[in-house]
Amino acid sequence: MRNIKLTIEYDGTRYLGWQRLGDSDKTIQGKIENILTQMTSSKIEIIGSGRTDAGTHARGQIANFKTNTTLSLAEMLAFLNRYLPRDIVVKKVEEVPERFHARYNAIGKKYSYHVCNDVIPSAFERHFSFQYSEKLNLELMNEACQKLIGTHDFIGFSSLKKTKKSTTRTINELSIQQEGSMLHFTFVGDGFLYKMVRIIMGTILEIGSGTMKLETIDEIFEHKIRSDAGMTVPSQGLFLDEVYYRNETKSIN
């Protein structure tokens, strides 16, 4: 039995998210599994590194699946990109050890969030950024980013209900790059809770616009209450850019 790892890029605009949903054909996982089943003539289920919400995009989602196919890596790559919708592209196909698991072996992730900060919205960026017209204080937002870096209990910055699992995560990088009216936020960490990036983004933007105080971040860490944090920003500005693993393998791209 072969274990195949895929690196996937997708525009999530017209999908209900990553995770397969019953008979719906509007999920990324469902679309890929259908093509893999056709390719191998056997039922294929793929394991993703994690779920992305409806409307969220990816430049580097990772998935793996088991198969007995004798097709080469090049043949698999060509088949997938021939028959998948044009808004889903497999960038790389790798053969990995039998025990590799896209979700459980991940040691970190990189996300980006994009904000169009202009009173006049962009027709071209509407599916790939959050159109936010409020005047923003970049210096305050950078201070907010610094407060969020490190190891903390981020339950107050998530939409998780009660859970027995740890909600402590480490953010290694949270930075802002400005390009005209576009603001590009980069998040790198060992893992992210449900809607954590989008809630952190909402909090940073509300601090930047003056509707929330910088010290609120400390209060959220202390009280662990979701309602103390900012809005949950829309999903279309969010990209899963990269998933980190310890070992690399032979690949074709």
pLDDT block averages, 10 residues each, the chain of length 253: 98 95 85 96 96 96 97 98 98 97 97 96 92 96 98 96 89 97 97 97 98 97 96 97 78 45
Of 78, 105, 132, the residue at which a domain comes to its end is 105
Residue 97 sits in the same domain as residue 21: yes
Domain with residue 7: its CATH number is: 3.30.70.580
State the residue range of the domain holding 198.
Answer: 108-241
Residue 85 sits in the same domain as residue 115: no
If one counts the domains in the chain, the total is 2
Tokens 């699946």 identify what position? 65
215 in a structural domain = yes
Using CA atoms, how far apart are residues 198 and 189, in angstroms rounded to an integer? 14
Residue 112 sits in the same domain as residue 72: no
How is residue 200 annotated by DSSP? H
Residue 15 sits in the same domain as residue 118: no
**Catalytic residue list:** 53
Residue 199 sits in the same domain as residue 135: yes
First to last CA, the chain: 22
Q: How wide is the angle at C-alpha 116 spanned by C-alphas 111 and 121, nearest 5°?
A: 140
Residue 117 sits in the same domain as residue 236: yes
Of 43, 73, 105, the residue at which a domain comes to its end is 105
* pLDDT given for residue 23 in this prediction: 65
What are the Cα distances from residue 119, in Å, to 34, 128, 134? 43, 17, 8
The whole-model pTM stands at 0.93
Of 70, 105, 140, the residue at which a domain comes to its end is 105
